[in-house]
Amino acid sequence: MRTPIFAANWKMHLGPTAARDFLRSFLAAVPEQDDRELWFFPSAVALEAVARDTEARADVSVGAQNVHWEPKGAYTGETSVAMAREAGAVGALVGHSERRHVFGETDEETSRKVRTLLNAGLTPMLCVGETIDQREADETLAVVRRQLSALGGLEVDALTRVLVAYEPVWAIGTGRTATPTDAAEVHRDIRAWIAGRGVPAGSVRVLYGGSVKPANIADLMAEPEIDGVLVGGASLAPDAWSGMVQVALD
């Protein structure tokens, strides 16, 4: 049984003060439960505040939106894994489509980030997904497999600690969502890729992301291949997000 994950990617929204206001109402509305995990990916400057304010909640984990693979140095604007961990992060997003398409992050860079996080004991959430042109050219599975190569060569126990989020680029922030059936096809392929590397197919959690909202979260979560959701826009308002994480899980 894979514990479902509800992950909020706040992108470049909610600084420390707004994040703390959000958590005050959200945590009051959402009681602690051990049958799901709640993840928050705040901006780097809000990481510590979010980690501190959720410390007492065993069901909440906090992650960075991005990390650098070098331990320190002249990398203006970057955050090392050790710094993120010191601020309270237990994981990080890697290869989010905005990192890939806006900031030019390559598969080789995602691969280095995954390894650095795992070596430091943090959980990478590797994001994969195709553009609309790639989908229309029937390249979805090839693109996703190429992006999964960031996990190539990992030992089985390291691979077991990775989370994967399938986020079709054409569905992110656009209001267009993959149907549960479309997502399931890709999730099955991701699982098969992982199983091909010696990890039991059922043990790695694969999340869906891309315009998940109150109107579609229950249908997506009802699909057995979908182990959780990674949500941007709809996770920014405490009312909407607290309602969404409390959708029926059975």
Active site residues: 96, 167
Number of residues that bind ligand PGA (CB under 6 A): 13
- Contact between 233 and ligand PGA by CB under 6 A: the answer reads yes
Our CB check for ligand PGA shows the closer of 114 and 178 to be 178
H/E element holding 128? strand 123-128
End-to-end CA distance of the chain: 12
**Contact code string over 159-198 relative to ligand PGA, x by CB under 6 A:** --------x----xx-------------------------
Which residue minimizes CB distance to ligand PGA? 232
H/E element holding 2? none
Task: For the CB of residue 19, give the shortest distance to ligand PGA in the complex, in Å.
Answer: 17
Our CB check for ligand PGA shows the closer of 10 and 193 to be 10
- Contact between 9 and ligand PGA by CB under 6 A: the answer reads yes
Please identify which residue in 30, 47, 230, 245 interacts with ligand PGA, judged by CB under 6 A: 230
For tokens 């929204």, name the residue: 13
Helix (H, G, I), strand (E, B) or coil at 10: coil
**Contact code string over 80-99 relative to ligand PGA, x by CB under 6 A:** --------------------
| Residue 77 Rama label (left phi>0; alpha psi -120 to 50; beta) | left
Give me 172's structure tokens: 């992110």
User: How many CB atoms neighbour CB 235 within 10 A?
Assistant: 27
Half-sphere exposure of 26 (CA within 13 A, CB side): 25
Which residues sit at the interface with ligand PGA, rule CB under 6 A?
A: 9, 167, 172-173, 209-212, 230-234
